[in-house]
Structure 1
Amino acid sequence: MPKLRIAEVTRSIFYAPQYVAIEKGFFKDEGLEVELTTTWGGDKTMTALLSDGTDIALVGSETSIYVYAQGANDPVINFASLAQTDGTFLVSREKNDNFSWEQLKGKTFLGQRKGGMPQMVGEFVLKKNGINPQSDLKLIQNVDFANISSAFASGTGDFVQLFEPTASLFEQEGVGYIVASFGNESGQLPYTTFMAKESYINENEEIIEKFTRAIYNAQKWVASSSTKEISKAIHSYFEDTELEVIEIVVDRYKNQGSFASNPLISEENWNHLQHIMAESGELPKKIHYKTLVDNKFAKKVMNE
């Protein structure tokens, strides 16, 4: 087997099963040698995939829709689910034991970058809870992803939408307090999936099958293992984060069902993703489920 190149959109505890697959030898069991690169951003990840700079990308499914809508001759196909909810949390500057979404009205909300999936989910959840993002609060969306947490820490915003482990670290430091989960509020969707170009999948079906089996074995291991065991297994990927914080984050993601329990991508979740994109005005056109999702490998390894 050749070395398999994987590009992940960011380095996140959200992707714990992927790191488990490496650390626990599930890829090695399949005869696969993997090379993991963090490409930091959906646009860069997709560019790497389309230019053959990587074989497999771990990124939000919305990127495959954007590529297809632009008329790609070799579409990008989603073949295995990894994270099945949004991974962000609503953090309040003030401690609040009786939070309600109404409390955001008239306040300043520091959201995620416009056009990204976290921002789309954020606006979807606000609307679901009776908040008009454009008129009921002051919405800030022009801060670069890498600077959102520092902007909030320096005094910008009454509320902020943050990924882990920053949200938990802010709680520990008294900078802010988690009051709601966007993942719980928005429901299941193919938030982050493994995908590859259609031509690569067709030419390397054995590799894709082995890869999917390794991910499924890691997903089963995560589902049956304790928070401490999972955190210890992935700690080397987050050396700057204390094990105690990783445990808090893993527990939070595990309890809200963020880690997909199997690689299957359901049609219901796919349609929900497009509904959220349409609500935010970011869906270029509706793409049929079977056009960009191939569950063949997931079904095979799950039925073994």
Structure 2
Amino acid sequence: MKRRRKIGLPAALAVALLFAALLAGCGRNEGATKIRIGEVTRSLFYAPEYVAIEKGFFEEEGLEVELTTTFGGDKTMTALLSGTIDVALVGSETSIYVYQQGADDPVINFAQLTQTDGTFLVARKLDGEFDWNMLKGSVFLGQRKGGMPQMAGEFTLKKNGIDPHADLDLIQNIDFANIAAAFASGTGEYVQLFEPQASIFEREGKGRVVASFGVESGKLPYTVFMAKQSYIDKNREAIQKFTNAVYKAQQWVRDNDAETIADVVLPYFEDVDRDIVVSSIDRYKSQGSFAEDPIVDESEWNNLLDVMTSAGELAKRTEHQELVDTAFAETAIGKAAGQGD
């Protein structure tokens, strides 16, 4: 005869607690709206995005976000247009390219995250004080043609009396994700790099940061959360909640020092030493790279158009009102101030 095995009190309690935990877990996720984000690269430049996730600001708004790094503006926009992601974190220039190709479903910029270029000029070897004229005749490992890093870089070079195509041996045929590795392996005398890679190379003796393209090129809608107009029209409440969370994160980053921010975003940079993370965030904060609110400002938009025109990448000016919707950002700011619902 088979004997029925009794469950003792500790085991029974464990089962009950497990069941309760499962129910509680289901309850937390029930009704949450899922939004798939594609970020153009993984960088401390996007610290407020990681803060919004880690501090639970998206969750507070009833959102479940899935973050993917898509490595490159062209790849990020392809993912957005194909529906692989719902929201892209990428340079505003990509939305202009899509619009000028005659898209029936334009991509709309609704929440700005960064407001300057995020790259730094790294020199392989430098004796003495840096001068922009040192670049003349050098091998310069550039970014993808038509991308914001390259355009902001060219804008800065021209501002300092350098013709990037006549005065440099300019290399632009290396994929975005492989630029740092190419420089590390010996390609180029100068390169544009985001943090933390620029500081890592300084630590390893592979180069020295000599200038900031963010400081030199001025304020731009450099990296913005955007979505197709059709997605926004169908998901206005979710986009508003998303923008609310972004604004909470921006205010939190504004109000906290680099060390505090670093401790929150470290899970996204497991292979980077904490002191590098701290110094990189401090570098971005000190030059005003992190936007303090999500509004895509018209003056910054016009600066973007000037940069694109200078790079020869703009067929015609695409005005602010055509591809920017500030309503979500304005509502988020109003709500935080106690003026909204």
Is TM > 0.5 for Structure 1 vs Structure 2? yes
In structure 1, the partner of 2:186 is 155
Matched, 1:103 2:117: no
* Contact 2:33-2:238 within 8 A present in 1 as well: no
In structure 2, the partner of 1:232 is 263
Structure 1 residue runs without a partner (length 5+):
none
Equivalent in 117, 120, 126 of residue 86 of structure 1: 117
* Greater Cα radius of gyration, structure 1 or 2: 2
Matched, 1:29 2:57: no
Deviation readout 1:98-122 (Å, 9 max, x if unpaired): 2111121222222112221111111
> Aligned-pair distance for 1:96?
4.5
Deviation readout 1:253-273 (Å, 9 max, x if unpaired): 111111111001111111111
Q: 1:96 to 1:216 in 2, by over 3 A?
A: farther
Paired amino acid for 2:199: S
> Aligned-pair distance for 1:244?
1.3
Equivalent in 260, 279, 284 of residue 248 of structure 1: 279
Equivalent in 63, 74, 86 of residue 43 of structure 1: 74
Deviation readout 1:57-101 (Å, 9 max, x if unpaired): 111111100111111111110000001111111111223552111
Equivalent in 63, 71, 82 of residue 102 of structure 2: 71
In structure 1, the partner of 2:210 is 179
Write out aligned runs for 1:191-230 (5 A): 191-230=222-261
* Contact 1:93-1:158 within 8 A present in 2 as well: yes
Matched, 1:286 2:320: no
Q: SS of the counterpart of 1:303?
A: helix
* Contact 2:72-2:177 within 8 A present in 1 as well: no
Q: SS of the counterpart of 1:133?
A: coil
In structure 2, the partner of 1:261 is 292
Deviation readout 1:187-227 (Å, 9 max, x if unpaired): 11011100011111122111111110110000000000111
> Aligned-pair distance for 1:148?
2.1
Q: 1:22 to 1:69 in 2, by over 3 A?
A: same
Give the alignment's TM-score, normalised by structure 1.
0.96
Equivalent in 34, 44, 48 of residue 3 of structure 1: 34
Bigger relative CO (Cα 8 Å, ≥ 6 apart): 1
In structure 1, the partner of 2:150 is 119
Q: 1:97 to 1:221 in 2, by over 3 A?
A: farther
Q: SS of the counterpart of 1:47?
A: helix
Equivalent in 156, 161, 166 of residue 130 of structure 1: 161
* Contact 1:96-1:179 within 8 A present in 2 as well: no
Q: 1:96 to 1:26 in 2, by over 3 A?
A: farther
Q: Give the number of equivalent residue pairs.
A: 304
Paired amino acid for 1:147: N
Give the alignment's TM-score, normalised by structure 2.
0.86
CA-atom RMSD, angstroms?
Answer: 1.3
More displaced stretch, 240-249 vs 288-297: 240-249
Distance 1:129 1:95 in 2: 18
Distance 1:239 1:98 in 2: 34
Structure 2 residue runs without a partner (length 5+):
1-31, 336-341
* Contact 1:92-1:176 within 8 A present in 2 as well: yes
Q: SS of the counterpart of 2:177?
A: helix
Q: 1:96 to 1:183 in 2, by over 3 A?
A: farther
Matched, 1:12 2:39: no
> Aligned-pair distance for 1:182?
0.4
Deviation readout 1:153-189 (Å, 9 max, x if unpaired): 2333222111111110111111110000001000110
